[in-house]
Structure 1
Amino acid sequence: MAGAKTNKGRFFEDYRLGEVIAHAVPRTVSGGERALYHALYPARGAIHSSDEFARACGLAASPMDDLIAFHTVFGKTVPDISLNAVANLGYAEARFHTPVWPGDTLVARSEVIGLKENSNGKTGVVYVRTQGHNQRGDLVLDYVRWVMVRKNDLDAPAPNAVVPDLAAVVDPAALVIPTGLDFTHYDFALAGEPHRMGDYAVGEVIDHVDGVTIEDAEHMLATRLWQNTAKTHYDGTLREDGRRLIYGGHVISMARALSFNGLANAQMIVAINGGAHANPCFAGDTVRAWSEVLDMAPTTAPGVGAMRLRLVAVNEAGKAGALRDDAGKYLSHILLDLDYWVLIPL
């Protein structure tokens, strides 16, 4: 039978609650991924840029950027979870457990923890908890995400609806601090800004000022780099307007890099509490970002604090702080709403 050996991806009716999926193709990461990441995004975090700076902060060397680990593990899941996705809807309960170093090999597996068919009978939402491990079996990160997936057989019966109960915020006491991390002798001049955690206030909004116009070529390089094969990012014939949807992780990394201007010392992501891709992003959009300080907490590491931030990516300038309309719906210029914990000098 023609095409019997090819993979058309899973549809909503193909998932089963409790199913564990081992994702194919382990990925060894190296300095090449770091160089390409820093070419794609204006990322300048000192710990992820300099072995010497990282060693002065108690680490063995400069680890890979946190989002390199996230994108790599995420990419492993796409052929099994979101190849036929309409949209990636959100994230929760993400924790970074072990830094990823050049030479590490990452593998991923996911468990289906929720299913809910939509009222139109044509799509449904699949909830998965994904884990990424390194070659030693160490847990690198885990997270929950939920995806709207098409049905192939519209007559397939709807499963019993199960929506997981997810924590709104990762408890700061549960944050995993990299072994040896010490900001006691942190060099603010080399890091790029003088601001420590005590210089910020809960409720403060920071307009990161800068903007980057998204290009199709760069987005396509990013999706290939992370081996993300979701059709909506590759195939311009899927939409009537012929436009490819920009990969949400590309927007996350762009906004995170832009946040350097005002948050240069927010060095390491240790958790993602929640996130939503509020509106689609397309080539030609100019992405800007603003952040809101949501909370602060101490950690057990010397000189290291944890700060909870809301990172918002927008495609219009001059609206820092505006998020939703009076009905509670995201404003049309909001691309990303990401709630996360970072490590920062006290």
Structure 2
Amino acid sequence: MRGEIPKYGLDLKTARTGQILESPYEITVDDSWRCQWQSVFPTASKLTTSREYAKACGFNAIPIPQAMLLNMTLCFSVEPFSQSCRLHLGLENARQELPASFGDTFRSFTKIESLANTSRGDASVIHTTHILVNQRDERVFSLKKRSYYEPLPNNDVIEPIQESDGMASHFETPTKSLIDHYDGIKEFPSAQIEPLKAGRLIIHPMVRPLGWSENLALSTTYRNTHPIHWDSTSYGRDGIVVCGGFVQSLVFATGDREIRQVLDETLIHSSHINTVTPEDGIGSISKILEIENISDRLERVTLKTLGLKNVDVSKELSSLEIPNKLLNSDPLKPSEIELTCSDQCPELAGKIAMQATRSILRPRY
């Protein structure tokens, strides 16, 4: 008798525009998740470390860090969607829509917005919207994602599917943000705020790895079921890669001290350039692109961040001329980044793990 091996991820034979995929996971997030998260991803912003600061900002308790919500949104969708994809191409418009607290229960849904084969016909690109919903069926977090799959087996035009059950209603709600929450705060509590200036390039001094055991624990906790992130029997210990959401979270964490206090964050876009493996040292640099005073109490800072791997940023970058092309707001293709590094900054060739442009909300004083 021969056994059958279950298959997970999106079935390209039945995939349709408009199709909604529900994650099988429903997770109540308790305070142990916060302890685990902050032991790996350091933060200097008081909102997610101080109960008193959080309450002064209008929250009932310390809120769940936005990076945790982003990773739940992504990882919960691996089993029904991305476990069968080749590459994660990038994220856009990732934002928190409602406050989230420890003790809340979360589910995720994925909607296929478009899918088509590449011009060469050797692969397909699928655009999706991912959302995270709490126990009250409120949309808490949302993002858009681009993924690279095997070619669609049937390249003919396929009629879109119209989902008629309750899942579709989660995608019909207008996108919200936390700005309205902070508009009601008359005065923010005293806290150290790092002064920022448009045009400044910050070399964040922190470099730290995501260890082998940490990667396994996080992949398990967040239900990232793709074996490339944990199955060393199949991929070999050297073949294990850290998932993109964890890489992005560590990149941003290494620079948090220099941009504190962060109240809210919108990821405009991000993409991964070079693979990160457990034990790679992760650091970052950020260029402040724009600072906008949106009220007498709040400012919005737009910055471009490059995540670097195995670079001692303080020693290696302090006197290095970094091409401005790498630090513009618009994303570059991986080939453009590597060509620019090869021609103008060979010290960074093969060392840029990811690029991201984001907008953060901070108190002005």
TM-score range, shorter chain: 0.7 to 0.9
* Cα 1:278–1:159 shift into 2, 3 Å: farther
Residue 242 of structure 1 deviates from its aligned partner by: 4.2
Equivalent residue, structure 2, for 1:166 = none
**Aligned partners of 1:12 and 1:123 also within 8 Å:** no
Which residue matches 2:267?
Answer: 272
SS of structure 2 residue aligned to 1:309:
strand
Once residues 37 and 28 of structure 1 are traced to their aligned partners in structure 2, the CA distance between those partners, rounded to angstroms, is 15
1:85–1:230 contact (8 Å) kept in structure 2: no
Rounded to whole Å, the distance in 2 between the matches of 1:56 and 1:240 is 49
Aligned match of 2:304: 310
In the alignment, the residues of structure 1 paired with residue 299 and residue 249 of structure 2 have an alpha-carbon distance, to the nearest angstrom, of 22
Letter of the structure 1 residue corresponding to residue 84 of structure 2: N
Whether contact under 8 Å (1:276, 1:338) holds in the other structure is yes
Structure 1 segment 184-333 matched on structure 2, within 5 A: 184-188=187-191, 193-195=192-194, 199-236=195-232, 239=235, 242-269=238-265, 271-299=266-294, 303-315=297-309, 316=311, 317=313, 318-319=316-317, 321-322=322-323, 323=326, 328-330=336-338, 331=341, 332-333=350-351
Greater share of residues in helix: 2
The answer to whether residue 200 in structure 2 is matched with residue 182 in structure 1 is no
Q: Superposition RMSD on alpha carbons, in Å?
A: 2.9
- The gaps in structure 1 that reach 5 residues or longer are 162-172
**Is 1:26–1:107's contact at 8 Å kept on the other side of the alignment?**
yes
Separation (CA, whole Å) in 1 of partners of 2:180 and 2:28: 21
Note if contact 2:91-2:145 (Cα within 8 Å) is conserved in structure 1.
Answer: yes
Corresponding residue number in structure 2 for 1:168? none
Structure 2 partner of 1:345: 363
Paired residue total: 324
| Residue deviations 1:89-148 (CA, integer Å, cap 9, x gap) | 101122211021011111111110121223564532211111211111221111110111
Deviation, structure 1 residue 338: 1.5
Q: Map 1:98-247; keep pairs closer than 5 Å.
A: 98-118=98-118, 121-150=121-150, 156-160=153-157, 175-177=177-179, 179-180=181-182, 182=185, 184-188=187-191, 193-195=192-194, 199-236=195-232, 239=235, 242-247=238-243
Tell me the CA shift for residue 179 of structure 1: 2.1
What CA distance in whole angstroms lies between the structure 1 residues aligned with 2:89 and 2:154? 23
Greater Cα offset, 13-22 or 272-281: 13-22
Q: Distance in 2 between matches of 1:115 and 1:83?
A: 17
Is the CA contact (8 Å cut-off) linking 1:210 and 1:258 kept in structure 2? yes
CA distance in 1, matches of 2:238, 2:254: 29
In the alignment, is the contact (CA less than 8 A) between 2:70 and 2:94 conserved in 1? no
Partner SS state of residue 77, structure 2: helix
CA distance in 2 between partners of 1:83 and 1:35 (Å) = 28
Q: Is the 8 A contact 2:97 2:176 kept in 1?
A: no
Task: Provide Cα deviations, 1:26-54, integer angstroms capped at 9, x if missing partner.
Answer: 11111111111011222232110111111
In structure 1, C-alpha distance between the alignment counterparts of 2:68 and 2:335, rounded to whole Å: 36
Shift in alpha-carbon separation, 1:327–1:140, aligned structure 2, 3 A: closer
* Identity rate, percent: 19
Distance 2:37 2:156 in 1: 40
Alpha-carbon distance between aligned partners in 1 of 2:334 and 2:278, rounded to the nearest angstrom:
29
| Change in CA separation of 1:64 and 1:239 when aligned onto 2, cut-off 3 Å | same
CA distance in 2, matches of 1:211, 1:99: 30
Tell me by how many angstroms 1:232 deviates.
Answer: 1.9
Q: 1:129–1:145: 8 Å Cα contact kept in structure 2?
A: yes
Alpha-carbon distance between aligned partners in 2 of 1:45 and 1:178, rounded to the nearest angstrom: 20
Deviations 1:187-214 (A, max 9, x none): 12xxxx342xxx3222221111110033
- Stretch of structure 1 that moved more, 320-329 or 280-289: 320-329
TM-score, structure 2 normalization: 0.80
Matched residue SS, 1:125: strand
Secondary structure, aligned partner of 1:292: strand
